[in-house]
Amino acid sequence: MQSVEASSKQLSPEVPRVIRVGTRASTLARTQTQWVVDCLRSQGHSVAIETISTRGDDSQNVPIAQVGGDGVFVRELERSLLEHRIDAAVHSLKDLPTAETPGLTLACVPLRASPFDVLVSREHPTLESLPAGAVVGTSSIRRAVQVKALRSDVVVRGIRGNVDTRLRRLDDGEYDCIVLAGAGLERLGLAHRISQVLQPDTFWPAVAQGALVIQIRADDQPLKESLRAIDDLPTHLAVRAERSCLAALAGGCLAPIGAWASQSADGRLKIGACVLEDLGDRVHRIIASAFGPATAPEELGCIVASRLRELGADAMLARMREKGNL
């Protein structure tokens, strides 16, 4: 005969799970996270948002490379996942190291926004039309080197902070223009600020730029199934190829490596990538590409990395590290 306590447990209705979603504190991060939360709520889930401060956000007056390098915007979120303080973390995928953290998995990559960098300028609409000596703001080594390759006569000056802060500093006259990810401006409803879209083969975006990823604990199968509905397969395959290329080059999130993969109308996948080196008086740039079945994105990424290595990528990246640029 069952005890009263055991019987009551069997008869009690199951308490609905509240999915705790972690986000960084910036307006852009919260906007991106809110989109994911809205998708989960549309499926009938109860969701709570947890705002988590990261080391990268707390040290905005210091170059990223000096703050902690790869993963500086995601480590605290990952720690919260592993400690069960949150159930899911929403990241900009370009911020996430290519080596997966044990115990965690990348459960979902939604439809990608624009992968390209853009110019936001006060007066001159294009990079080409800037006057000599114009001040261009960017916090990225990859962007800075590419600006220098195209316009060696302008001044590239570092800039940190969230999108609103960078735009305010531009509007206050500290810079003539700034280079940002187009996806962030689009998601914040600020696409009207874009002066020029910078695209390959002239200007290469960061690996996985424009893509979001939802990271969860590897053993949370119910949540993984719930997130499957907002996973975009073409985006997921493309970023897998790009991240595979970056991992094979051992470049890291901050390296002057750009890549972009996309699917053609017949479903095949094309990936191109670029490695850059600042030689002081000039910029050395190598490019490679591959085209093949979308079912083998990692293999395509490795093929491109191998071709870049044949062109001297390893030595280029080693010299950049020796100079303290990475």
pLDDT digits (tens, 9 = 90+) for 180-229: 999 999 999 999 999 999 999 999 999 999 999 999 999 999 999 999 99
First to last CA, the chain: 69
- Say whether both 66 and 104 belong to one domain: yes
- Say whether both 192 and 268 belong to one domain: no
- Say whether both 157 and 303 belong to one domain: no
- The reported pLDDT for the residue numbered 250 is 83
- For residue 8, being part of any structural domain is answered with no
Mean pLDDT, the chain, whole residue set: 89
Asked if 118 contacts 197 with a C-beta cutoff of 8 angstroms, the reply is: yes
- Say whether both 312 and 167 belong to one domain: no
- Say whether both 145 and 35 belong to one domain: no
Which of 87, 95, 176, 220 is the catalytic position? 95
- The reported pLDDT for the residue numbered 139 is 87
CA–CA distance, 209 with 94 (Å, rounded to integer) = 5
- Tell me if residue 95 is catalytic: yes
- The reported pLDDT for the residue numbered 224 is 95
- For residue 2, being part of any structural domain is answered with no
Q: Which range of residues forms the domain containing residue 193?
A: 117-198
- For residue 192, being part of any structural domain is answered with yes
- Say whether both 237 and 150 belong to one domain: no
- For residue 13, being part of any structural domain is answered with no
- Say whether both 167 and 216 belong to one domain: no
Q: What amino acid is encoded at 175 in this protein?
A: Y
Q: For 288-306, what is each residue's pLDDT tens digit?
A: 999 999 999 999 999 999 9
Q: Which two tokens stand for residue 11?
A: 């008869």
Q: E-assigned strands of 171-304?
A: 177-181, 196-198, 212-217, 257-263, 268-278, 283-293
Q: For 264-273, what is each residue's pLDDT tens digit?
A: 888 899 999 9
- Say whether both 212 and 310 belong to one domain: yes
Domain boundary among 144, 167, 198: 198
Q: What's 314's domain CATH number?
A: 3.40.190.10
- For residue 222, being part of any structural domain is answered with yes
The angle formed by the CA atoms of residues 156, 115 and 79, to the nearest 5 degrees, is 90
49 burial class (0-12, 13-18, 19+ CB within 10 angstroms)? middle
- For residue 11, being part of any structural domain is answered with no
CA–CA distance, 132 with 113 (Å, rounded to integer) = 33
- Say whether both 99 and 212 belong to one domain: yes
Nearest to 112 by CA among 309, 321, 284, 261: 261
Average pLDDT over residues 60-76: 61
- For residue 50, being part of any structural domain is answered with yes
- For residue 65, being part of any structural domain is answered with yes
CA–CA distance, 90 with 228 (Å, rounded to integer) = 15
- Say whether both 287 and 300 belong to one domain: yes
Residue with tokens 């852009």: 28
Largest Cα–Cα separation, the chain: 89
Q: For 127-183, what is each residue's pLDDT tens digit?
A: 999 999 999 999 899 999 999 999 999 999 999 889 999 999 999 999 999 999 999
Domain boundary among 198, 228, 251: 198
- Say whether both 164 and 275 belong to one domain: no
**Please, which pLDDT band fits residue 232 given cuts at 50, 70 and 90?**
very high
Average pLDDT over residues 21-40: 94
pLDDT of residue 103 exceeding 50, the answer is yes
Domains in the chain, number? 2
Contacts of 39 (CB under 8 A, 6+ apart): 110, 229, 230
CA–CA distance, 302 with 242 (Å, rounded to integer) = 9
Domain boundary among 153, 177, 198: 198
- Say whether both 145 and 48 belong to one domain: no
